Structure 1
Amino acid sequence: MQITAAVAREHGQPLSIETLELDDLRANEVRVRMVSVGVCHTDAIVRDGVYPTPLPAVLGHEGAGVVEEVGSAVRSVAVGDHVVLGAAYCGYCRRCRSGEMAYCENLFAEDFGGRRRDGSTSLSRDGEVVSSHFFGQSAFATYANVVEESVIKVDRDVPLEHLGPLGCGLNTGAGTVLNELRPPAGSSIIVFGTGAVGSAAIMAAGVAGCTTIIAVDIVDSRLELARELGATHTINSRSEDVAEQITAITDGRGVDFAVDTTARSEQLRTAAEALGVRGTLALVGAAKPGTEVSFEIGSSLVKGWTFKTVVQGSSVPQVFIPHLIDLWREGKFPFEKLVGEYDLEHINDGFEDSRNGSVVKPVVVFK
């Protein structure tokens, strides 16, 4: 069938809106009519060649839509179901079999390879192969053949127009706090970067009962929104001394937990130094392979602190994403406040607005 999609053809260049051919559904796939899809930083860095998905490609990995058809082996959803689309995973490696799908041993092949496991692709144009199955979905399109592992069934009364970002960015930020760090009530946390991932971490910190929630960014409007979402303190790292402010806020004790969404070496060093005794720093931002950071390990040794990297919020998406929707229903996870809507023809505007900080989470809504 013919579909309309945003195609990445050259590194560092805008996506082009094209008509493509979508092939027949495979046994383990679900055909989804897209209602919305979030624009994520990972889409941008793949477009720019930081990660190795071959071009031309249809990116997009925060889809939400309606099931139109299911393959013969699919059991988890049926035609007409409303679904959110998350990251793909193989389902058979040791990590997947242990319930740690976020750390699938075949993650790069499943999410960034641009092909099915048999080497085929679902998309083409006049005989030209176009990479598909980005994160199992390639959701920057009106329709997609999605692997069953990427599909999460949701209640039909929840508006699909804003659900897409739950599939990656919001799942990552909230899951890092609730699944991985698990801060006890009354603890303190600092979040570097208040984009979609950082904002989700701030909201999750409130759900967990953190009583000191510090947001750090360079955009005042984002810091204002962070306050609205639950931050108790904000720091503009462009105009304020972050270390000095943290010392004042915590009475010199440092914070219990830190989340870095920027993947900037200097910010990670600052985040590590912000920790108190037995503190934990989690990196969730994607950096260029080979990026390095240095930590002081002399006087900090006696703090017994921990550094860890976190992928996809360490979540089982079929379990955790419905949980986030329940929190949204209760008014504890108002992620719609992050969203700016775009049509597919203006998807490149969404990329730019995300880059310059004017919109926290661009979402393409298919009319």
Structure 2
Amino acid sequence: MKALAAVVREAKGDFIIEEVDVDDPRPDEVLVRIVASGICHTDIAVKNQDINIPLPMVLGHEGSGVIEKIGSAVTHLKVGDHVVLSGDSCGHCHSCLEAKTAYCDEFVGRNLMGLRGDGTSPLNQHGKPLRGRFVGQSSFATYSLTPARSVNKIPSDLPLELMGPLGCGLTTGAGTVLNALRPPSGSSVAVFGVGTVGLAAIMGARLAGCATIIAVDVRRSRLDMAAELGATHCIDAGSQNPVSEIRRITGRGADFSAECSGVPVAVRQAVDCLARPGWCAQVGATPGGIEIPFSMDNIGLGRGIKGVVMGDSVTQTFVPYLAELHRNGQLPYDKFVKYYDFADINQAVHDSAVTGEVIKPILRM
């Protein structure tokens, strides 16, 4: 069948909306009519080749939509289901069998190369394969052929066009706090970088009952949003030293931190600001090839850093949980969303990545 897709063909090039051919579903696949898709920092990083993976490709990995066809082996989904899409996994490696699908042994091949696990693509153009399986979905398109393992069913009475970011940004941020760090009630958390993922971490810390929730960023507007969503303190990293300010606020350092910006200096600060014992979750994507020195005098006394992918979440249960939190007013991420028509994808990228005036752009297909 035919679909429209936003194709990026060269580093830093614009997205170009083109017609593509979509395969019929294989036994383990589902065809989803995409209603909307969030734009994530990772999509932009690949477009600009800060994350150097092959182009051309159809990006997008925060898709929401309606199932139109299902493969013969899919039994837990049906045509007409409202769904949110997330990443792919093999289902049989050690990590997958332990319900840690974000750490699948085949993660890179299945999610970053834009191809199925067997090296084929579900999209073709002019008779030639076009990489169209980015993070299990390539949702910058009117249709997505995705593995059933990447599909998360949600109630049909929820606003479907808003739900896509639950599949990545919200799951990553909230999950990092609730699933990976698990701060006890009354503890302190510092969040570095309060874009979508960082704001989700702020809301997760509030849900966990943290007493001190510190937001760190260089944009005043984002700090103001963090305060509205639950941050008890805000630090402007452009004019203040985050480490000394966090120690002053807490009296000893933060019990936990989440680094959500990928800025190398912030990674070091997110560890240096910790109390003893203390854990930093590294979530933000740093530029390729970056090495960051740490003081072993600091780490050796009971501080540590751990990389976290997708908030250590099992999306099939965590995404519906977050959807219910939003329904109940406990995850009000609609406060920092702005909608764009699919045709305006390049304007949406500009407003998010260049001017920074929009935190979470969502494309309506």
Common fold by TM > 0.5:
yes
Stretch of structure 1 that moved more, 262-271 or 163-172: 262-271
Letter in 2 for 1:334: P
How far is 1:316 from its partner?
0.4
Alpha-carbon displacement from aligned partner over 1:126-151 (angstroms, at most 9, x marks no partner): 22321111111110000111111110
Shift of 1:330: 2.1
Question: Aligned equivalents of 2:265 and 2:83: distance in 1?
Answer: 39
Letter in 2 for 1:270: Q
Instruction: Give the stretch that moved more between structures: 40-49 or 309-318.
Output: 40-49
What amino acid does structure 1 have at the position aligned with 2:352? Answer: S
Corresponding residue of 1:190: 190
Does the alignment pair 1:101 with 2:101?
yes
Identity of aligned residues (%): 47
Q: Which amino acid aligns with 1:330?
A: N
| Helix, strand or coil at the partner of 1:234 | strand
CA 1:36–1:276: 2 relative to 1, 3 Å: same
Give the whole-Å Cα distance in 2 for the aligned partners of 1:118 and 1:325: 33
Matching residue of 2:352: 354
CA contact (8 A) 1:55 1:130 kept: no
Partner of 1:341: 339
Task: Give the match for residue 294 of structure 2.
Answer: 295
Q: 1:6 aligns to what SS in structure 2?
A: strand
**8 Å CA contact retained: 2:15, 2:346:** yes
Determine if contact 2:31/2:143 at 8 Å carries over to the other structure. Answer: yes
- Residue by residue over 1:281-313, the C-alpha shift from the partner in whole angstroms, topping out at 9 and shown as x without a partner, is 1100112332111111225533x1121000000
* Residue matched to 1:112: 112
Moved over 4 A (4+): none
Q: Tell me if 1:136 matches 2:147.
A: no
User: Contact between 2:244 and 2:273, CA under 8 Å: does it hold in 1?
Assistant: no
Once residues 342 and 296 of structure 2 are traced to their aligned partners in structure 1, the CA distance between those partners, rounded to angstroms, is 49
1:43-54 alignment runs, 5 A limit: 43-54=43-54
Once residues 317 and 22 of structure 1 are traced to their aligned partners in structure 2, the CA distance between those partners, rounded to angstroms, is 25
Alignment of 1:147-186 (within 5 A): 147-186=147-186
Cα pair 1:52 1:113 within 8 Å, conserved: no
Return the offset for 1:264.
Answer: 1.9
Task: Give the aligned partner of residue 309 of structure 1.
Answer: 307
Is contact 1:187–1:210 with CA below 8 Å preserved after alignment? yes
Which residue is equivalent to 1:202? 202
CA contact (8 A) 1:122 1:132 kept: yes
Query: Could you tell me how far apart the structure 1 residues matched to 2:33 and 2:155 are?
Result: 16
Letter in 2 for 1:255: A
Farther-moved stretch of structure 1 (36-45 vs 264-273): 264-273
Partner of 2:253: 254
SS at match of 1:318: helix
> Shift of residue 353 of structure 1?
1.6
Secondary structure of the corresponding residue to residue 298 of structure 1: helix
- Per the alignment, residue 278 of structure 2 pairs with 279
Which residue type is aligned with residue 358 of structure 2? V
- Larger displacement relative to structure 2 (82-91 or 22-31): 22-31
2:58, 2:134 within 8 Å by CA — same for their partners in 1? yes
Q: 1:117 to 1:248 in 2, by over 3 A?
A: closer
Q: In structure 1, what residue type is equivalent to 2:261?
A: T
Paired with 1:299 and 1:335, the residues of 2 have a C-alpha distance of 36
* Residue in 1 that maps onto 2:20: 20
Q: Partners in 1 of 2:208 and 2:81 — Cα distance?
A: 31
For 1:165, the aligned partner's letter is P
**Consecutive unaligned residues in structure 1, runs of 5 or more:** none
Q: Secondary structure at the match of 1:324?
A: helix
1:112 partner letter:
L
**Residue 71 and residue 189 in structure 1: after superposition, are their counterparts in 2 closer, same or farther (change >3 A)?**
same
The DSSP-based 3-state class of the residue aligned with 1:163 is helix
Does structure 2 conserve the Cα–Cα contact (< 8 Å) formed by 1:81 and 1:156? Answer: yes
Q: What is the deviation of 1:244?
A: 3.0
| Structure 2 unaligned residues grouped into runs of 5+ | none
What's the CA shift for 1:47? 1.5
Q: 8 Å contact 1:58–1:134 — kept in the other structure?
A: yes
SS across alignment from 2:108: helix
Structure 2 CA distance, aligned partners of 1:353 and 1:290?
28
CA contact (8 A) 2:264 2:286 kept: no
Q: Give the residue type in structure 2 aligned to 1:319.
A: T
- Give the distance between the partners of 1:108 and 1:40, measured in 2 at CA: 18
**2:38–2:63: 8 Å Cα contact kept in structure 1?**
yes
**Counterpart AA for 2:191:** V
Aligned CA-pair RMSD = 1.2
Secondary structure of the corresponding residue to residue 172 of structure 1: helix
What TM-score, normalized by structure 2, do the two folds share? Answer: 0.97
Q: How many angstroms apart in 1 are the aligned matches of 2:97 and 2:279?
A: 27
Give TM-score, length-normalised by structure 1.
0.97
- The answer on whether the counterparts of 1:342 and 1:362 sit within 8 Å (CA) in structure 2 is yes
Distance change >3 Å, CA 53–CA 299, structure 1 → 2: closer
Match of 1:214 in 2: 214
Asked whether the equivalents of residues 52 and 112 of structure 1 are also in contact (C-alpha less than 8 Å), the reply is no
> Which position in structure 2 is the counterpart of 1:323?
321
Q: State how far apart, in whole Å, the 2-side matches of 1:243 and 1:173 are.
A: 21
Deviation string for 1:301-338 (max 9, x for gaps)?
A: 33x11210000000000011111112112211111112
Q: 1:52: Cα distance to partner? A: 4.5
Q: By how many angstroms is 1:248 displaced?
A: 2.2
Cross-structure match for 2:11? 11
